[in-house]
């Protein structure tokens, strides 16, 4: 599929009809997406209605917006008017329909984008694998035998497969950046709280953010502008001051990631953030506690309706003492202050996004510190500490055609997304990063 900015330009110019783009996207999602186990609901009637509105605006001489006619999907925890917000769980499959769209969907619609589908996720966004007891396991379009990552795996998979140019996900501890890295897409976790969360089913309020997936830096900049209502051209435009994160970030990563960082900034100083392991542990604790408390009443009423893998972790989180939670939050506050002081002289920090390529569905484990550990919990080893800081982080796909995808994080200062977007565009022009289409014919039965 064309890039979002290309579709929008053609629709606004009247050389392409939004309805035609929408019909092609719906057909692809109906058929080609099936092996990916990525789509939970196809919103055909709504999509056709929105596309017709875009075409009518063009015919009337009005500008439909910067995303005119661009089809997109949302993770299955965004409120969609008239449908229950299930957050990927059987527990809320029959919940009351939502009275209104999530605010992010409203902003996308006002920009001319066309909502086509809701997309698979880990139940309640608790995991890095998109292994869902109700809908199934989302597959990686680059190799159907491998995971797409999570918890926004469905959102990443449809963009990586070229079925949609844009999708929206959510990121609490890496749930956008992990699947972006494993599927070869761009994925943004914004400065905490900068993008709208109204109407997004919560997980852990201390860390929750919504974020887009795209297949190009230009598309990411456009979608970020729509959701943030800010300009990606903000700032001085001077070359960014780049540093690399050392310590734990230099361990448990692929040699290609280290080589890419050398190529991006060969003389970049190394910044080592202290107590990274403690920060990740505290992030785990806060996430578990807030998630457990959020679902405590539902667990007490009908615990067996939860995915067993989710239920056990939520129960454990609900039982955590308040004083431990308070200590973790206090550490979070002091940690963020120390990190901001350490990085004050830099605009962008480089770090791996995931420690490895996508693991196999049949063996969902990865190697961390020479030990085999569950991918569902540990694929976020490099993203979770960044979430803890509240800093923005853009996952960019390394240019490695013929090989499985792998990404880096471009990490910025608070509200420093424009610098990240400019650097991503520059690296894309240099051929160091960029999405590559899947080499496999993913149309067919998924490997079991």
Distances (CA, A) of 224 to 153, 191, 217, 389: 20, 12, 10, 20
Give the SS3 label for residue 128: coil
Q: Is the pLDDT of residue 45 over 90?
A: yes
| 291 contacts: CB under 8 Å, gap ≥ 6 | 124, 126, 203, 204, 313, 314, 317
Please report the DSSP string for 266-299 in residue order. Answer: TTPPEE--TTHHHHHHHHHHHHHHHHHHHTHHHH
Contact 191, 417 (CB under 8 A): yes
- Closest to 343 measured CA to CA, from 379, 303, 389: 389
Selecting among 155, 175, 228, 393, the annotated active-site residue is: 175
Here the tokens at position 131 are 């292994």
Q: Report pLDDT digits (tens) over 13-30.
A: 999 999 999 999 999 999
CA angle 254, 255, 259 (to 5 degrees): 125
Indicate if 167 belongs to the active site. no
| DSSP type of residue 174 | S
pTM: 0.97
| Catalytic residue check, 189 | no
63 vs 253: CA distance, rounded Å: 46
pLDDT at 442: 61
Asked if residue 443 has pLDDT above 80, the reply is no
Domains and CATH numbers, the chain: 4-429 (3.90.1300.10)
Q: Give the pLDDT confidence score for residue 96 in this predicted structure.
A: 98
Of 89, 151, 170, 435, which residue is the catalytic one?
A: 151
Average pLDDT over residues 34-47: 98
75 is catalytic: yes
Distances, alpha carbon 165 to alpha carbons 144, 220, 333, in Å? 20, 10, 37
pLDDT of residue 195: 98
Element (H or E) spanning 226, and its range?
helix 217-228
pLDDT digits (tens, 9 = 90+) for 312-340: 999 999 999 999 999 999 999 999 999 99
Across all residues in the chain, what is the average pLDDT? 96
Mean pLDDT of 120-124: 98
DSSP per residue, 26-86: HHHHHHTTGGGT-EEEE-HHHHHHHHHHHHHHHHTT----TTTT-EEEEETTB--BTS---
Sort strands 209-214 and 186-189 into parallel, antiparallel or unpaired: antiparallel
Are 18 and 68 a contacting pair, CB within 8 Å?
yes
Band of pLDDT at residue 234, cut at 50, 70 and 90: confident
Instruction: Determine what percent of the chain is predicted with pLDDT higher than 70.
Output: 98
- For the cut 50, the answer to whether the pLDDT of residue 116 exceeds it is yes
Confidence (pLDDT) at 35: 97
Kindly report which listed range (94-103, 177-186, 232-241, 345-354) carries the lowest average pLDDT score.
Answer: 232-241
CA distance 249 to 409: 11
Task: Strands of 122-172 (E only): list them.
Answer: 131-132, 136-137, 139-140, 143-147, 166-171
- The answer to whether the beta carbons of residues 409 and 245 sit under 8 Å apart is no
| Per-residue DSSP letter, 247 | G
């Amino acid at each position: 599929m064309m890039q979002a900015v290309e579709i929008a330009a053609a629709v606004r110019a009247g050389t392409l009809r939004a309805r035609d783009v929408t019909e092609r996207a719906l057909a692809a999602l109906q058929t080609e997406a099936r092996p990916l186990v990525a789509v939970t609901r196809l919103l055909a009637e709504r999509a056709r209605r929105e596309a017709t509105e875009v075409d009518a605006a063009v015919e009337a001489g009005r500008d439909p917006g910067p995303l005119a006619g661009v089809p997109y999907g949302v993770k299955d925890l965004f409120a969609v008017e008239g449908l229950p917000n299930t957050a990927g769980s059987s527990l809320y499959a029959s919940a009351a329909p939502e009275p209104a769209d999530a605010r992010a969907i409203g902003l996308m619609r006002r920009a001319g984008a066309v909502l086509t589908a809701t997309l698979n996720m880990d139940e309640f966004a608790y995991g890095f694998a998109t292994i869902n007891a109700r809908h199934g396991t989302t597959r990686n379009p680059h190799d159907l035998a491998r995971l797409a990552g999570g918890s926004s795996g469905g959102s990443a998979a449809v963009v990586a497969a070229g079925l949609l140019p844009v999708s929206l996900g959510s990121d609490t501890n890496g749930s956008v950046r992990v699947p972006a890295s494993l599927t070869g897409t761009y994925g943004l976790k914004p400065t905490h709280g900068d993008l709208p969360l109204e109407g997004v089913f919560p997980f852990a309020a201390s860390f929750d953010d919504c974020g887009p997936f795209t297949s190009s830096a230009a598309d990411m900049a456009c979608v970020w502008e729509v959701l943030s209502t800010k300009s990606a051209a903000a700032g001085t435009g001077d070359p960014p001051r780049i540093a690399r994160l050392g310590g734990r970030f230099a361990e448990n990563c692929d040699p290609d990631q280290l080589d890419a960082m050398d190529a991006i900034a060969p003389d970049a100083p190394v910044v080592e953030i202290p107590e990274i392991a403690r920060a990740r542990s505290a992030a785990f604790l806060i996430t578990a506690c807030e998630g457990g408390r959020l679902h405590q009443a539902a667990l007490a009423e009908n615990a067996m309706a939860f995915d067993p893998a989710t239920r056990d972790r939520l129960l454990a989180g609900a039982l955590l003492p308040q004083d431990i939670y308070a200590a973790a939050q206090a550490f979070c506050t002091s940690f963020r202050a120390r990190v901001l002081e350490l990085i004050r002289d830099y605009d962008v920090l480089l770090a791996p996004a995931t420690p490895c390529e996508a693991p196999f569905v049949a063996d969902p484990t990865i190697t961390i510190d020479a030990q085999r550990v569950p991918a569902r919990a540990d694929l976020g080893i490099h993203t979770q500490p960044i979430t803890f800081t509240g800093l923005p982080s853009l996952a960019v796909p390394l240019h490695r055609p013929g090989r499985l995808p792998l990404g880096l994080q471009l990490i910025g200062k608070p509200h420093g997304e424009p610098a990240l977007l400019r650097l991503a565009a520059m690296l894309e022009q240099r051929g160091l990063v960029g999405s590559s289409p899947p080499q496999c014919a993913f149309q067919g039965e998924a490997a079991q």
